[in-house]
Amino acid sequence: MRPIHAAVIALMLAPAVPLAVAAQDGASPAEQAVEVRHGYMTALSLNMAPLAAMAKGDVPYEEATATMHARNLAALGAYGIEMHFLPGSAKGEVEGSNMLPEAVQNLDDVAAKHKALADATAAAPAGVVGGQEQVAAVLKSIGGTCKACHDQYRGK
Ligand code: HEC
């Protein structure tokens, strides 16, 4: 085999490696959906919390830090999390899931509620510039979109 062929074959095989690793993990698509939802929601929370601390005055306002968290929230908001609201991954169907089955039955509404989060977070990086009160206003607008979806589709 000439070297060029070996290189091409190596390239073709490369993507198979992570796939094989994922398969070995043994998690079903529904279990993975729960895992990614939890990771996503945790990432949202971990970027909301420092903004909440700033809004309350527990930590001093710092534009660079506020902007960084706002950008992370915007990036998360742009991610289509509803693709992970899979049939068979609701509360009672997979261990650890706290997604109500209604979410799967109303995916259009879930997507609309997620769109509200995407819009609110998209405005966040510019919105948090200026001081504590700006951060508080942004938090309120994003927080309302979290609650709207939780009230409907998250178990108690
Ligand atoms: C489009 C709907 C939707 C939006 C918007 C949404 N969530 Fe959630 N959230 C859910 C659902 C559904 C669950 C339950 C997921 C599960 O257990 O599989 C959840 C769970 C959570 C959890 C618990 C995660 C865990 O590990 O058990 C946290 C924390 C959370 N959300 C925070 C947030 C924050 C903060 C926001 C807004 C910045 C937000 N969510 C926006 C639907 C949403």
- What does the pLDDT look like over 77-99, one tens digit per residue? 999 999 999 999 999 999 999 99
| Ligand 1 atom nearest to 103, measured from its CA | 12
| CATH fold for domain 28-153 | Four Helix Bundle (Hemerythrin (Met), subunit A) (1.20.120)
Residue 75: Cβ-neighbour burial (10 angstroms; 0-12, 13-18, 19+): middle
Read off the tokens for 80: 């289509």
Residue carrying the six token digits 């999390």:
81
Write down the residue that tokens 């979410």 correspond to. 103
Query: Is pLDDT at 24 greater than 50 in this prediction?
Result: no
What is the value of pTM for the model shown?
Answer: 0.88
| CA quadruple 138, 139, 144, 146: dihedral sign | positive
pLDDT tops 80 at residue 111: yes
- Read off the pLDDT band of 72 (50, 70, 90): very high
Q: How far apart are CA 69 and CA 71, in angstroms?
A: 5
pLDDT tens readout for residues 28-40? 999 999 999 999 9
Return all residues near 96 (Cβ < 8 A) that are at least 6 apart: 34, 38
Q: Ligand 1 centroid to 20 CA: how many Å? A: 30
Pocket test for ligand 1, best of 36, 138, 150 (most atoms within 8 A of CB): 150
* pLDDT at residue number 56: 97
pLDDT digits (tens, 9 = 90+) for 125-147: 999 999 999 999 999 999 999 99
Return the percentage of the chain with pLDDT > 90, whole number: 83
- Which of residues 154 and 14 earns the better pLDDT score? 154
Tokens representing residue 31 in the block: 């279990």
